[in-house]
Structure 1
Amino acid sequence: MPLSRIQLPGERSRAQELYEFLRNAILDGTLEPNERLVEENIAALASVSRTPVREALRKLEADNLVRDTGQGIVVGTTSPEELEELCAVRETLEGMASRLAARLRSELEVASLRRILEEYREATQQRDVERLVVLNHAFHETIWQAARNRYLFRELTNLRDLIERLQKTTLDRPERQQAALPEHEALFEAIVRQDEDEAERLARQHFREAMAIRLMMARLAQKRL
């Protein structure tokens, strides 16, 4: 979908704000795979010179969100093979985050996870997919925060965004809705007990279950092309 006027807040550098705007547009599907991104057009829409546009596009290329075809910059695509690679990295980091969270979590974070789980149970009963997605993000982000490692948090956020760009969620599948709740509950209990080994094992297992569905969906979608 072509962009209309780009409004930048003007609170940080133009290149950074433009990067964030374009990144969000790619991740939410406003900019579609293989859509061309022309420096001159973006500069005109954002009322900036081409220099910050060029810098923003370089950062997006480093994030694997755009690619240079030799004839211009286009929005990148994610193949099932690339998705599998992303999932392998994320599984390891999810396990690491849960291990650290079990060791370092505060009582406030335990209370936050408990509250999120209560709401998650209710949303599961109501089959409220939109709410489940929000709560699922909140649950995992609370664990990442409890790990006390800003670089780990940043990498997990980036990996999640890249993976969900291909498929927003697996929670629209009833069988995944029912399976995810006890998986979350078991992981929560391991973190409460500060059982680091079990927290890591459960986090990796939980992620593998969800990713198996993602990979199956991606391969089916590829076959339809």
Structure 2
Amino acid sequence: MNKNNKAATEAVHVSSSHRAHAQLREQLLRSRFLPGQKINEVALAKELEISRTPLREALNRLVAEGLLMDRERGFSVPGLEPEVIFDLFEARVEIECATVRLACERAEEAELEALSDFLDESMAEPPDASVDRLIELDIRFHDTIAELARNKVLRQLLTNINGRIHLIRWIAMEGQRDRTQNQHREILDHICAGDTEAAIAVMRDHILHRNEDILAAIKAAYGHVYTRSSS
């Protein structure tokens, strides 16, 4: 095999792995797989029309992101163990409070105005907007705060944690649209005013952090995925 052919083959391999990673990540976030479910690599390779090697690379990337677990004889979906979920939400609270503090110090006026315009658009979403759409808007708000913090590591950590608690956030969002959007506005108002402590206080209250509430969301999440899988 000449160098050009080899390079072309490697490029196709990498592209296939990236595509499989993106597709599987989306499926995991959408709870296509049940908590604790073992991944059938043969069936998955056939479904994604991909060879086992780039598929394995994609699965290993998802393991590194905490969205899959590497067992001795294959891969499986993480369960919703309360102690793990508690730790993830605790980490999220601390990261989000840190990004708020840094955004208060580093965000420019034009950037805050753009975020305010985004919140106006979010609140104008129709009353029947899906939970998926509300989660999308919620994630964008928090990610923008992290971007304004100008700390790539904190932003990457937040993205990773949000992926791992996506289902719990989805459950917790139901019926919480007005509260969520009002608190987004309150957080931004405090940032614009340079009131760091107030912004952090609202952010801490905004994020699901009480163990009893998280436990209730975990139970509801199990009910959601198993009900949907049997329908």
TM-score category (smaller protein): 0.7 to 0.9
Task: Indicate if the aligned counterparts of 2:171 and 2:217 stay in contact, CA closer than 8 A.
Answer: no
Does the alignment pair 1:180 with 2:169? no
Which of 162, 167, 179 does residue 160 from structure 1 map onto?
Answer: 162
- Structure 2: how far apart are the matches of 1:118 and 1:103? 23
Task: Indicate if the aligned counterparts of 1:129 and 1:172 stay in contact, CA closer than 8 A.
Answer: no
Aligned to 2:45: 43
Question: What is the CA-CA distance between 1:77 and the residue it aligns to?
Answer: 1.9
Residue correspondences, number: 214
Q: CA RMSD in A?
A: 3.1
Given the superposition, is the C-alpha separation of residues 34 and 222 from structure 1 closer, same or farther in structure 2, using an over 3 Å criterion?
Answer: closer
Does the alignment pair 1:91 with 2:93? yes
Aligned to 2:19: 17
Higher alpha-carbon deviation: 58-67 or 205-214: 205-214
Task: Indicate if the aligned counterparts of 1:19 and 1:60 stay in contact, CA closer than 8 A.
Answer: yes
Aligned to 2:4: none
Q: With the length of structure 1 as denominator, give the TM-score of the two structures.
A: 0.78
Does the alignment pair 1:142 with 2:163? no
Question: What is the CA-CA distance between 1:167 and the residue it aligns to?
Answer: 4.6
- Structure 1: how far apart are the matches of 2:41 and 2:184? 44
**Structure 1: segments with no counterpart, 5+ residues:** 1-8
Aligned to 1:74: 76
- Structure 2: how far apart are the matches of 1:68 and 1:151? 25
Question: What is the CA-CA distance between 1:98 and the residue it aligns to?
Answer: 0.8
Query: What is the percent sequence identity of the aligned residues?
Result: 27
> Per the alignment, in what secondary structure is the counterpart of residue 73 of structure 1?
strand
Given the superposition, is the C-alpha separation of residues 188 and 212 from structure 1 closer, same or farther in structure 2, using an over 3 Å criterion?
Answer: farther
**Structure 2: segments with no counterpart, 5+ residues:** 1-10, 227-231
Aligned to 1:6: none
Given the superposition, is the C-alpha separation of residues 120 and 14 from structure 1 closer, same or farther in structure 2, using an over 3 Å criterion?
Answer: closer
- Structure 2: how far apart are the matches of 1:221 and 1:44? 29
Given the superposition, is the C-alpha separation of residues 139 and 30 from structure 1 closer, same or farther in structure 2, using an over 3 Å criterion?
Answer: same
Task: Indicate if the aligned counterparts of 1:102 and 1:192 stay in contact, CA closer than 8 A.
Answer: yes
Letter in 2 for 1:66: L
Task: Indicate if the aligned counterparts of 1:133 and 1:169 stay in contact, CA closer than 8 A.
Answer: no
- Structure 2: how far apart are the matches of 1:33 and 1:167? 15
Tell me the alpha carbon deviations over residues 22-47 of structure 1, each in whole angstroms, 9 at most, x when there is no partner.
Answer: 22211112333333323333334444
> Per the alignment, in what secondary structure is the counterpart of residue 170 of structure 2?
coil
Given the superposition, is the C-alpha separation of residues 97 and 11 from structure 1 closer, same or farther in structure 2, using an over 3 Å criterion?
Answer: farther
Higher alpha-carbon deviation: 138-147 or 61-70: 61-70
Task: Indicate if the aligned counterparts of 2:89 and 2:209 stay in contact, CA closer than 8 A.
Answer: no
Letter in 1 for 2:67: L
Higher alpha-carbon deviation: 12-21 or 80-89: 12-21
